[in-house]
Structure 1
Amino acid sequence: MKAAEIRSKSSDELKDELLKLRKEAFNLRFQQASGQLENTARVRQVRRDIARIKTVIGEKA
């Protein structure tokens, strides 16, 4: 997800997206622990998207 996409969203949309990404991160960690994770790069992408969203939420506040 690009920073420009994130900045164009409202605060409610950002909070919803953050919640969705946190659930995905949890599921990915679970898959990694059980040895079922296929796309290991997705963990990094999700972590960075979470950080981007938190940054933009902080900027808007």
Structure 2
Amino acid sequence: MSLPKIAEARSLSNQDLAEEILAAKKKLFELRFQQATRQLEKTHEFKHTRHRIAQLLTVEQERQLGKNNSESTPFKEE
């Protein structure tokens, strides 16, 4: 299984992006819980889930910065 691509995250709407972030964080919690109870078999899922969370948060931050930059007015000298 390969790591998820950031293009997939960029194609999501803002609401879908927020839902994906929440789902990935829940999955990471479940993985930690499975590890603590020694039920975890696929340890590589930690890396994939953390990578996915980082991608989703990056896209969310890019959108927030882009939104803020487009809303700001240019500096005018008087």
TM-score, normalised with respect to structure 2: 0.76
TM-score (norm 1): 0.96
Show the 5 A alignment for 1:37-56: 37-56=40-59
Letter in structure 2 aligned against 1:27: E
Give yes or no for the alignment of 1:7 onto 2:10: yes
- Greater RCO, 1 or 2 (C-alpha within 8 Å, sep 6+): 1
Structure 1, residues 23-45: CA drift from partner, whole Å, max 9, x if none?
A: 10000000001111000000110
Greater helix content = 1
Q: Which runs of 5+ in 2 are unaligned?
A: 65-78
Across the two proteins, how many residue pairs are aligned to each other?
61
- 2:73 counterpart residue number: none
Higher gyration radius (CA) = 2
- CA root-mean-square deviation: 0.6
Structure 1: runs of 5+ lacking an equivalent: none
| Partner of residue 67, structure 2 | none
Structure 1 stretches of at least 4 aligned residues deviating more than 3 Å after TM superposition: none
Q: Give the match for residue 34 of structure 2.
A: 31
